Amino acid sequence: MGRRKLLTLATFNVNGIGTRLGHLLAWLEREQPDVVALQELKATDEAFPVDALEAAGYGALWHGQRSWNGVALLGRGVVPQESRRGLPGEPADRQSRYLEAAVHGILVGALYLPNGNPQPGPKFDYKLRWMRRLARHAAGLVDLPHPVVLMGDFNVIPTDGDVYDAKAWRKDALIQPEVRAAYEDLLAQGWTDALHAHCGDAAPYTFWDYFRQHAERDRGLRIDHLLLNRALAPRLVEAGVDRWVRLQQKASDHAPTWIRIAAATPAKRARKQARAAATPDKPGAPARTARRNPSA
DNA sequence: ATGTCATCAACTTGATGA
């Protein structure tokens, strides 16, 4: 049997695409991920650096917002094929937090879940509502025959093993029992938390705040997650966090969090095509016409 | 309880979000 081809999928909260463009480009150059979800662009659609990313070999799809939020999807050598922007269920919600597209044969839901602080309060209520909307939408994706990943900054510390000091964070929205329960309910649909599945209790942190040299001392949180649906989970090969990005000067407070998955085997592709032919009206099937980026 | 960093809207500083 020959060496299997791998795909790298990563999520990175850049905390401002304008301030962090240099960090992002250096990381893309070094790690060459195939699919990337970005959060906290903090930039309008007009300010998104599409030219610099294209020059780096990445096609992009983005949903910006002035000052806050903002999400994007990058495809190495391809432009992601959009299937949805924004979660259903709250039409008045104008915050740019969800973008979904087909990239390299995977349906990717890229998300920036509300932080929810201070808690309790209206922002925490919004977070819980947003999690319910996400769960409702995710329920329609978990059993698709097609590979699906939900990845991004979930702003959820799943267990006390995912924080350097649970007591120090006990009043924070990221650790509240209601938030953890909502995350557990989502996993119970059949999603696999890829870093936990691969690393167990030794799963690395993905975020370190700017206080007291927490990054250098590895006093962090695991809040950036990649959830795999039933079709994709068996293909998980490796998972990790590029902590070196966080240790640079003027870094984002998050580090890129990634998985490697095996490319679909010819046999699996054939079965998948047979299933697709049997159910032609299933939602979420990716466009097979992703445009090649000429610069790649 | 504190700590840091970036942005915005007012104008060198303070409120806000994370």
Read off the pLDDT band of A8 (50, 70, 90).
Answer: very high
Read off the pLDDT band of A277 (50, 70, 90).
Answer: low
Nearest to A14 by CA among A38, A32, A46, A33: A38
Whether any strand B atom is under 7 angstroms from the Cβ of A117: the reply reads yes
Whether any strand B atom is under 7 angstroms from the Cβ of A104: the reply reads no
Q: List helix spans (H) across chain A.
A: 17-31, 50-55, 122-138, 177-188, 194-199, 243-246, 266-278
CB-based burial label for A182 (10 Å; 0-12, 13-18, 19+) = buried
Phi, psi of A150 (to 5 degrees): -105, 115
Q: Give me chain A's average pLDDT, please.
A: 92
For A38, the token pair is: 């970005």
Angle at Cα A221 formed by Cα A220 and Cα A227, nearest 5°?
145
At how many degrees (to 10) do helices A177-188 and A122-138 cross?
A: 10
Tracing tokens 């195939």 back to the chain, one arrives at: A34
Q: For residue range A181-201, what is the model confidence (pLDDT) as tens digits?
A: 999 999 999 999 999 999 999
Question: Is A96 in contact with A82 (CB distance < 8 Å)?
Answer: no
Up-side HSE of residue A93: CA atoms within 13 Å toward CB? 20
Q: Which of residues 157-186 of A touch strand B (CB under 7 A)?
A: 168
Nearest to A258 by CA among A4, A8, A7: A8
Shortest CA to C1' contact from A251: nucleotide: B5
Q: For residue range A197-246, what is the model confidence (pLDDT) as tens digits?
A: 999 999 999 999 999 999 999 999 999 999 999 999 999 999 999 999 99
